[in-house]
Amino acid sequence: MLLYPYLKSLHLIFVITWFAGLFYIVRLFVYQLEAHAKPDPVERQILTRQLALMAKRLWTFITWPSMILATGFALSLLLLNPTILTQGWMHLKLAFVLVLIGYHLYCQVIYKNLQKGNFKYRSTFMRLYNEIPTLILFSVIFLVTLRNSINWIFGLVGLLLLSLLLTAGYKWYKHLRNQH
């Protein structure tokens, strides 16, 4: 078990870089969609090329490797301590991780479409889509920190309140943005 804390540290480092990549890639999607809507064709072309390159580098060299390494270190932790799989909070955490992996894979679909010049989404959708990993991050952090002491109803109410706050924040941001 001497190895366990080092593996756990590496797991956390790559979870953080994975989330950073997921947060930023969708922001780049927003910027790509907004650049594509620019009326000036020269500006549109320059911006979409640059943003596509930035997305490619982020997705290929940071986000995908971080997901793979975070998952690999998580599996090694489970192999070293399989009894943790008997705890209910871990089942819920793994469910959130599966949702996050699904989110990541759907980002891959969006990324491929944008790289091909297929702009079928609106920036408004992407801004809201970008809040999904925030909800997952909050859920997993509280779940892992509080473990079995968490009251599930309290946790669900907290998650719903966070969702409402994020939605209200988005509407407020959109209102401010439309004023300028």
With vertex at residue 135, the alpha carbon angle to CA 132 and CA 141, rounded to the nearest 5 degrees, is 135
Q: For the chain, what is the largest distance between any 2 Cα atoms, rounded to a whole number of angstroms?
A: 60
pLDDT in tens, 125-180: 999 899 899 989 988 988 888 876 656 566 666 767 777 887 777 778 777 777 76
Phi/psi at 121 (5° precision): -110, 160
DSSP state, residue 131: T
Chain mean position to CA 174: 21
Look up the pTM and report it.
Answer: 0.85
Q: Shortest CA distance to 112 belongs to which of 21, 32, 15, 18? A: 32
Per-residue CA distances from 53 to 11, 42, 47, 156 (Å)? 28, 17, 10, 39
Quick: pLDDT tens for 11-28. Answer: 999 999 999 999 999 999
